[in-house]
């Protein structure tokens, strides 16, 4: 059974009866896995405290299921992702939202609202042009730390979702795009991601909706529930690929420097933990491009305001131009330098209106 807003509020008040009352206010998110609400909490200690309630439903909405395969495998045990989220958060050495109360049986967590500490969602910071350059260093240091903490502790966590099915769900559109033309690329990317020879549970959801940033550049990280056993090298280019999309849409000041700073800070910090790590440039290029184009082409799970600067259809055409060059059969891109330089060119062409489609009569 899934609780709606009224039932959820009632349930929390039942669970925590002696101490507080809670009133759910706005719904902040209702994506694949959880419903997230802002709420007002009253306890002996606090009066009218602004908090956030995350609730993971028993059944996820039908529109997020692509196939029977998804229903049977990938999302079969989706409630378990909530517990995994909490368990992972406990072992991390990075700033995460403070948990006020976690009701394990009902998959309900009450936590501090990060806005109380002047944090704002990374996506909002970008769209409102409030992203401080100093955030780049903190973002990537946080990521390197999360990666390392998970590498050290992975054996404490059990795999909740199947890696192959999560990949299919993430890259649903990419497969269609590369079908018949660069299926070799798609298969290689999937083979790397699934990483049968690795057994680390890794956080795959590194994107601009799972970070919050303060005006001074400090960073908070959250939402670890969909971690699966996969290639840890996916994490950095996946997030950078998302930011590549904002770059094309003419957001972020000095975006190429920002991306480079992120990448360099990440590698420096991660090398500090693991001096044997060898950076695989080709894999980075593949994952970066895959993340950028599947999000840009489908505009799914991404704020549609992103494309407003250059028009939504322009985003798709620009993305196509990007992967056409990067995955060119005769002359594929082989260095990050070249990858970022193509991105810079496409950003500037997009801003000049090159990818705008003529109006359909």
**Half-sphere exposure for 294 (CA within 13 Å, toward CB):** 22
The set of long-range contacts for 300-303, using a CB threshold of 8 Å and a minimum separation of 24, is: 300/173, 301/31, 301/32, 301/209, 302/242, 302/245, 303/123, 303/127
* Minimum distance, C-beta of residue 35 to ligand ATP, in the bound complex (Å): 7
* Minimum distance, C-beta of residue 109 to ligand ATP, in the bound complex (Å): 9
When CB distances are held under 5 to 8 angstroms depending on the partner's kind, the choice from Mg ion, ligand ATP, none that residue 339 binds is none
Span interacting with Mg ion, options 18-26, 50-58, 204-212, 294-302, rule CB under 5 A:
204-212
Strand pairing partners for 213? 120, 219
Span interacting with Mg ion, options 143-151, 202-210, 286-294, 335-343, rule CB under 5 A:
202-210
Lookup result for tokens 């660069």: 182
Span interacting with Mg ion, options 34-42, 167-175, 205-213, 301-309, rule CB under 5 A:
205-213
Using CB positions, name the residue nearest to Mg ion: 223
Residue whose CB is less far from ligand ATP, 303 or 338: 303
Contact 107, 55 (CB under 8 A): yes
Residue whose CB is less far from ligand ATP, 210 or 263: 210
When CB distances are held under 5 to 8 angstroms depending on the partner's kind, the choice from ligand ATP, Mg ion, none that residue 299 binds is none
Residue whose CB is less far from ligand ATP, 55 or 270: 55
Q: Does 96 bind Mg ion (CB under 5 A)?
A: no
Strand pairing partners for 202? 228
Q: Does 227 bind Mg ion (CB under 5 A)?
A: no
* Minimum distance, C-beta of residue 117 to ligand ATP, in the bound complex (Å): 9
Q: Does 85 bind Mg ion (CB under 5 A)?
A: no
Residue whose CB is less far from Mg ion, 109 or 210: 210
Chain contacts with ligand ATP (rule: CB under 6 A): 28-29, 31-34, 36, 52, 54, 97, 111-115, 121, 205, 209-210, 222-223
Residue whose CB is less far from ligand ATP, 114 or 340: 114
Strand pairing partners for 55? 35, 108
Q: Does 223 bind Mg ion (CB under 5 A)?
A: yes
Q: Hey, what are 197's tokens?
A: 């020879």
Q: Does 210 bind Mg ion (CB under 5 A)?
A: yes
Contact 101, 112 (CB under 8 A): no
When CB distances are held under 5 to 8 angstroms depending on the partner's kind, the choice from ligand ATP, Mg ion, none that residue 316 binds is none
How far is it, in rounded angstroms, from Cα 69 to Cα 193? Answer: 19
How far is it, in rounded angstroms, from Cα 184 to Cα 191? Answer: 10
Q: Hey, what are 201's tokens?
A: 């549970």
* Minimum distance, C-beta of residue 23 to Mg ion, in the bound complex (Å): 23
Residue whose CB is less far from ligand ATP, 33 or 143: 33
* Minimum distance, C-beta of residue 210 to ligand ATP, in the bound complex (Å): 5
Residue whose CB is less far from ligand ATP, 112 or 192: 112
Alpha-carbon distances of 104 from 95, 107, 108, 221, 284, rounded to whole Å: 22, 5, 7, 21, 37
Lookup result for tokens 């049968």: 196
Which residues of the chain form beta strands (DSSP E)? Answer: 21-30, 34-42, 49-56, 99-103, 108-112, 120-121, 201-202, 211-213, 219-221, 228-229
How far is it, in rounded angstroms, from Cα 143 to Cα 243? Answer: 15
Strand pairing partners for 24? 39
Q: Does 192 bind Mg ion (CB under 5 A)?
A: no
Rounded to the nearest 5°, which phi and psi values hold at 117?
-105, 20
* Minimum distance, C-beta of residue 302 to ligand ATP, in the bound complex (Å): 10
Residue whose CB is less far from ligand ATP, 33 or 178: 33
When CB distances are held under 5 to 8 angstroms depending on the partner's kind, the choice from ligand ATP, Mg ion, none that residue 97 binds is ligand ATP
* Cβ neighbourhood burial of 320 (10 Å; 0-12, 13-18, 19+): middle
Q: Hey, what are 145's tokens?
A: 């730390």
Radius of gyration of the chain (CA): 21
Residue whose CB is less far from Mg ion, 31 or 272: 31
Q: Which residues make up the interface to Mg ion (CB under 5 A)? A: 209-210, 223
């Amino acid at each position: 059974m899934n609780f709606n807003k009224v039932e959820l509020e009632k349930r929390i008040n039942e669970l925590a009866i002696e101490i507080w009352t809670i009133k759910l206010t706005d719904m902040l998110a209702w994506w694949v896995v959880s419903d997230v609400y802002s709420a007002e909490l009253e306890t002996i200690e606090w009066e009218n405290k602004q908090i956030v309630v995350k609730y993971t439903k028993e059944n996820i909405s039908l529109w997020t299921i692509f196939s029977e395969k998804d229903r049977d495998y990938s999302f079969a045990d989706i409630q378990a992702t909530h517990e995994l989220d909490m368990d992972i958060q406990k072992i991390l050495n990075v700033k995460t939202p403070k948990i006020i109360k976690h009701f394990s049986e009902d998959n309900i967590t009450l936590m501090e609202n990060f806005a109380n500490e002047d944090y704002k969602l990374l996506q909002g910071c970008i769209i409102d042009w409030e992203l401080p350059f100093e955030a780049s260093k903190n973002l990537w240091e946080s990521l390197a730390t999360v990666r390392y903490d998970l590498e050290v502790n992975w054996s404490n966590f059990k795999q909740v979702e199947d890696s192959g099915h999560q990949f299919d769900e993430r890259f649903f559109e990419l497969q269609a795009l590369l079908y018949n033309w660069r299926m070799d690329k798609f298969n290689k990317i999937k083979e790397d991601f699934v990483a049968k020879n690795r057994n680390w549970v890794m956080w795959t959801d590194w994107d601009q909706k799972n970070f919050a940033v303060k005006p001074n550049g400090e960073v908070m990280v959250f939402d670890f529930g969909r971690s699966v056993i996969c290639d840890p090298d996916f994490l950095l280019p996946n997030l950078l690929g998302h930011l590549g999309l904002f770059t094309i849409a003419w957001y972020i000041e000095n975006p190429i420097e920002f991306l480079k700073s992120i990448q360099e800070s990440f590698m420096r910090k991660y090398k500090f933990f693991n001096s044997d790590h060898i950076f695989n440039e080709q894999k980075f290029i593949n994952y970066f491009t895959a993340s950028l184009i599947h999000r840009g082409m489908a505009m799914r799970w991404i704020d549609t305001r992103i494309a407003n600067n250059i028009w939504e259809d322009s985003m798709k055409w620009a993305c196509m131009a990007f992967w056409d060059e990067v995955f060119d059969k005769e002359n594929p891109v082989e260095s990050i330098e070249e990858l970022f330089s193509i991105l810079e060119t496409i950003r500037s062409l997009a801003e000049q209106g090159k990818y705008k489609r003529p109006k359909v009569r």
